Amino acid sequence: MSKTNKPGTLRRWWSVLRRPSAKYSILTLLVIGLFGGIIFWGGFNTAMEASNSLSFCISCHEMRDTVYQEYKETVHYQNRTGVRATCADCHVPRPWGYKLMRKIQASNELFHKVMGTVDTPEKFEAKRVELAKRVWASMRASNSRECRNCHGIEGMTEAAQTEMAWQAHEEIKETGETCIDCHQGIAHKDVSEFDE
């Protein structure tokens, strides 16, 4: 019989866990830690999901008065099928690790909100191309992952597209281009002519 399987080993471990550490037993501290962790994790995830809502995204006038107004005129907002893509669908990855990284990057946007970097329509327009280029670069780096959550080349039908669109979508299978290479102005003002 190995040392760890002796009959007294479990009793000794249980005794250590029940032994008081200052005021509480180690077992009590572990249980408190477990429940505290569950509550923290639930609150953290709830806050992350709340920050993905459309109402959260347009809660500042910079978004509500500019890009949101443009978005409302697009097929992503209103269409024949009634399926709406919100800000998070295009700008926040679904996989948890990527989502967390995006939320950390978004803290920089909150910093600039507080600092007033884009707090007027004029300041926003002056920064628009730079901001758009960052989003495009991110989408290229992820192979337009967020676009592909809803749109997949393999699910497209020739009959539902123009001949030119069908040919372009067939060609990207070979060229490795990604959605954002052709669809830069799909949900907001098209500033792609300024892309270098």
Can you give the pTM of this predicted structure? 0.71
Count of Cβ atoms closer than 10 Å to residue 83 Cβ: 11
pLDDT at 14 over 80: no
pLDDT at 55 over 90: yes
Both ends of the chain: CA-CA distance in Å? 72
Residue 180 contacts residue 140 (beta carbons within 8 Å): yes
Tens-place pLDDT, residues 158-196: 888 899 999 998 888 888 889 998 888 888 888 877 765
Percentage with pLDDT > 90 across the chain: 36
- Which carries the bigger pLDDT value, residue 18 or residue 51? 51
For the chain, the 3-state helix, strand and coil shares in percent, each to the nearest 5, are 65, 0, 30
pLDDT at 26 over 80: no
Mean pLDDT, all residues of the chain: 86
How distant, in Å, are the alpha carbons of 94, 180, 186 from that of 139? 13, 7, 13
Residue 90 contacts residue 147 (beta carbons within 8 Å): yes
Tens-place pLDDT, residues 129-165: 998 999 999 999 999 999 989 888 888 888 888 999 9
